[in-house]
Structure 1
Amino acid sequence: MKESWRWYGPLDKISLSEVAQTGASGIVTALHEVPYGEVWDRETIARRKADVLAAGFEWVVVESLPIHERIKRGEGDLSALFANYRQSMANLAAEGIHTICYNFMPLLDWTRTDLAALVERGGRCLRFSAPKMAALEIFMLGRGEARQDYLPEAVAQAEKWFQSSSDDDRAELMHAVMAGLPGAYDRYDAEGLKAALKLYEGIDRPVLQNHYKRFLEEIIPTAEELGMRFCVHPDDPPRDILGLPRIVSNAEDIDWLLGAVDSPANGLTLCAGSLGANPENDVPEIARRFASRIHFAHLRNVRKDADGSFEEAAHLSGDTDMVDLVAALLVEEQRRRDAGETEWEIPFRPDHGHELLDDAGRNTHPGYPLIGRMRGLAELRGVIAGLSHSGKTAN
């Protein structure tokens, strides 16, 4: 497996010279400074690639080439947006970059309510608190209908938290929920979020699936022509939030989207943490089921609570059997090698590490500290080496 590292380019507080010391050989990055819907011009791509190469890395995956919200809403004449997207793809391919990770989550990307929850024995992590999210939906946004989306105990705790919270507490919660948009230019307060949600009125699960299918039909043929691989990132969290449908949350959803346009170019980013936050998901089994369509992997772990909350765990100590998952990916790599595939290696990156030791105060992107992710990479490297040495790559 190809060890990789997410780097936010000029926006990142971690330098490539520091990343080099982690041992990773691949960089996962994007042009986060380019507004959604605009073309990524070849010259800018080439400059970013040159920065990566000069530091001794390979740019292995684009994460991500964002999809404009109008495409997700199916709003108006989308021909220019699709044309721009295809031109960005062509420019990336011309620079030798052929794997694109993306998501189809409406309005928000990954969503957390706490960016610095305390971890046992020290450190901090990202956390999704079902009571806090319920408080935002029900009491801050006035979405009374959201009560049915949470367990009764979570709703009771939500009301208790809201009644005791200060304006600063509520602003901090809103900031945390918005933090999963590293390249977006829109950040919302409560009133702004209400207005943005109105644009999605009437868009339920079947409608959003239709819009997603149209996107795939517009883009995947071009990916095939360019020799590119697209890999969708699962929903994070894997549940509806803010009344917005999430349609890439479990094995059934993955089966649907891969069949919507059945092509090797239409693939999956296997995110162990996103899928692992759903108690019904068996992540290693999902990896085995869809192995041939996995083009990229995010390896992280979560620990779930009974009320629907979860938090980032250390890579080897959460609810997902990471050793079994890595074994499944190694089996797929071996299958690809045996079949004579030239691009048999699956790039992966350690995802959402704990903030540890000197990570504190560096103000890196939430969930993306240096030491915490390096710990995760080291642990994963050990698992891969151990399985490869023993030849035990499957149960």
Structure 2
Amino acid sequence: MEYLKKTFRWFGPSFGVTLDDIKQIGVEGIVAACQEVPLGEVWPVATIAALKKEIESHGLEWSVVESVNIHTSIKYGHPDRDGYIANYIQTLKNLAENDIHTVCYNFMQLIDWTRTDLDYMLPTGGSALRYSPIAAAAFDLFILKRENAKETYEESIYLEAENYFENLSAAERKKLEQSILAGMPGSRKLIALEQFKKNHETVLQISKEKLQENLSYFLNAIIPEAEKIGVKMAIHPDDPPFSVFGVPRIVSNYDDLKFLLNCCPSPSNGLTFCSGSLGASEENDLVKIISDFGNRIHFIHLRNVARSPDGSFYEAEHLNGSVPIDQVMKAIVLEQKRRHEKGSEEVMIPMRPDHGHVLLDDKKRQADFYSGYSLIGRAMGLAQLSGLERGIRESLI
């Protein structure tokens, strides 16, 4: 039976990690996107072909697109959304024309993920990404200054956030702001605070139910077309999987996943299983999610998080943290076994080590790559996960 397909995310020629670097660590596939195409516009066939040719010239394949981002008009249900949906469908057709058939995307609001510290120092001397609910509350209350935000926090949390913020220097306050506004993988450009505020005010007017309705509208428009051309859509969970700054989450737990899969039943409407995003909430049973929705998992992100009782977490070493990664891997291998026995063509599921610590020589090039996407830290994660996968497979023989 086939192993998982080992892949690695790459952000293009301007990224501080090259294809030559990646090839040395033994991956088979690249996870990439046409970063230069403006949000909402069609990805031209020629642009896709050029990127694919560059990847293949290094002896690698373009295995997964991450991401064909979704325009805010679609997420917010604006009158012009149908035009952007038509562009999205055309992009999928252009990808299929280039024999690329797996697309990871997300429906997150404001930013793609939220962290309050992008360089959290570990006892080992490496660094990781971290989320603190107190720091997030301080940003919400005293930098973002969300209207009526104080009423949404327990008094003890408010007082702790206030004390935390008052004890930050001006430089530390700026660092907190920049850490949160940097939550867009593939770009070193921060979201402008004023634009963030404007977008935030808009999304706060939209209920969770309306956001789910907008997601359903999008899926029911694109999935029939995706199915015709053999494209598998794989939605990424919200990160973190709970409300931040008062914004609803709609892809964060078992019930959310069940809703989106049932709202448009199709093999092309599937999931990116991310152990780190889902694992940031202790309420998520990751093994159950794999067992119940495994046949709709088209892409896998594996990483670990170390959760604390106060709701904070940092991105731990891939094999050590609050996520039972051995049980997760076993559930994935068993899903592959089920697929193999049923004669499925999609047994060799693409997997990438998600994020990584900044280690060793990574520190010398830290300014060149994007937060979470170091070379050595992710390579170590891939090696650990590959060994875990082999060991579990051997134990099941």
Please say whether Structure 1 and Structure 2 have the same fold, judged by a TM-score greater than 0.5. Answer: yes
Structure 1 residues 99-118: aligned runs within 5 Å: 99-118=102-121
Given the alignment, which residue of 47, 51, 56 partners 1:53? 56
Count of residue pairs the alignment pairs up? 392
Contact 1:233–1:270, Cα closer than 8 Å, also in 2: yes
Q: CA deviation at 1:166?
A: 3.0
Tell me how far apart the structure 2 counterparts of residues 151 and 20 of structure 1 sit (CA, whole Å).
50
The one of 261, 266, 273 aligned to 2:264: 261
Structure 2 match to 1:345: 348
Structure 2 CA distance for partners of 1:21 and 1:186, relative to 1, 3 Å: closer
What percentage of residue pairs aligned between the two structures are identical?
45
Q: Is the 8 A contact 2:279 2:323 kept in 1?
A: yes
Equivalent residue letter for 2:339: R
The CA distance in 2 between the partners of 1:65 and 1:95, in whole Å, is 15
Distance (whole Å) between structure 2 residues aligned to residue 149 and residue 220 of structure 1 = 37
Does the residue aligned with 2:376 lie in a helix, a strand or coil?
helix
**Equivalents in 2 of 1:185, 1:80: separation in Å?**
29
Mapped partners of 2:119, 2:351: distance in 1: 25
**Partner amino acid for 1:235?**
D
Matches within 5 A, 1:137-176: 137-143=140-146, 145-147=148-150, 153-176=156-179
RMSD between aligned residues: 1.6
The alpha carbon displacement at 1:177 in A equals 1.0
**Which consecutive unaligned segments of at least 5 residues does structure 2 have?**
none
Alignment partners' CA distance in 1, 2:80 and 2:37: 21
Query: Is the Cα–Cα contact under 8 Å of residues 207 and 248 in structure 2 kept in the other structure?
Result: yes
2:393 aligns with one of 356, 378, 388? 388
Are 2:137 and 2:245, in contact at CA under 8 Å, matched by a contact in 1?
no
1:170 Cα offset (Å): 2.1
Pair 1:211 & 2:210 matched: no
SS of match in other structure, 2:78: coil
Pick which of 120-129 and 152-161 moved more: 152-161
> What is the CA–CA distance in structure 1 between the aligned matches of 2:18 and 2:298, rounded to whole Å?
26
| Structure 2 match to 1:321 | 324
Q: Which residue of 1 aligns with 2:382?
A: 377
Deviation at 1:144, TM superposition (A): 5.6
Q: Are the aligned partners of 2:138 and 2:164 in contact in 1 as well (CA < 8 Å)?
A: yes
Q: Is the 8 A contact 2:223 2:264 kept in 1?
A: yes
Deviations 1:251-309 (A, max 9, x none): 11100110010111100100000000011011122111111110010000001111111
Pick aligned residue for 2:127 from 124, 127, 141 = 124
Cα deviation for residue 183 of structure 1 reads: 4.3
Letter in 1 for 2:361: D
CA shift digits 1:207-253 (9 cap, x unpaired): 11111110101110111011110010000000111222110000111
Aligned equivalent of 1:241: 244
Does structure 2 retain, via aligned residues, the 8 Å contact 1:302–1:312?
yes
Find the aligned partners of 1:151 and 1:121 in 2 and give their Cα distance.
35
Distance in 2, Cα, partners of 1:269 & 1:316: 20
Q: Counterpart in 2 of 1:331? A: 334
Contact (CA 8 Å) 2:182, 2:189: kept in 1 or not? no
**Cα displacement (A) at 1:156:** 2.8
**CA distance in 2: counterparts of 1:148 and 1:184, whole angstroms:** 34
Contact between 2:182 and 2:188, CA under 8 Å: does it hold in 1? Answer: no
Contact kept? 1:130, 1:150, Cα under 8 Å: no
- Quote how far apart the aligned CAs of 1:137 are: 0.5
1:184-203 to 2 correspondences below 5 Å = 187-203=190-206
Aligned-partner Cα distance in 1 for 2:154–2:293: 31
Larger mean Cα displacement after TM superposition, 240-249 or 153-162: 153-162
| Number of the residue aligned with 2:370 | 365
For 1:36, the equivalent position in structure 2 comes to 39
Contact 2:75 2:107 survives alignment (8 Å): yes
Whether the 8 Å contact between 1:126 and 1:312 is mirrored in structure 2 is: yes
Check conservation: 2:267, 2:296, Cα contact below 8 A: yes
The letter for the 1-side match of 2:291 is R
Contact 2:236–2:272 at 8 Å: present in 1 too? yes
* Code of the aligned partner of 1:272: S
User: Normalization by structure 2: what TM-score?
Assistant: 0.95
Contact 1:151 1:307 in 2 (8 A): no
Equivalent residue runs for 1:265-304 within 5 Å: 265-304=268-307
Q: Please, which runs of 5 or more residues in structure 1 have no aligned partner?
A: none
What per-residue deviation string (whole Å, max 9, x for no partner) do you get for residues 170-202 of structure 1? 221121112221346974343332222122242
> What is the DSSP-based 3-state SS (H/G/I as helix, E as strand, rest coil) of the residue aligned with 2:42?
coil
Q: C-alpha separation between the residues in 1 aligned to 2:169 and 2:193?
A: 15
Q: Which moved more, 1:185-194 or 1:36-45?
A: 185-194
Scaled by the length of structure 1, the TM-score of the pair is 0.96
Task: For 2:51 and 2:65, locate their aligned partners in 1 and report how far apart those are by CA, in whole Å.
Answer: 11
Measure the CA separation in 1 of the matches of 2:10 and 2:220.
30
Change in CA separation of 1:36 and 1:131 when aligned onto 2, cut-off 3 Å: same
C-alpha contact (below 8 Å) 1:153/1:307 kept by paired residues: no
SS at match of 1:361: helix
Partner of 2:27: 24
Please say if 1:15 is aligned against 2:18: yes
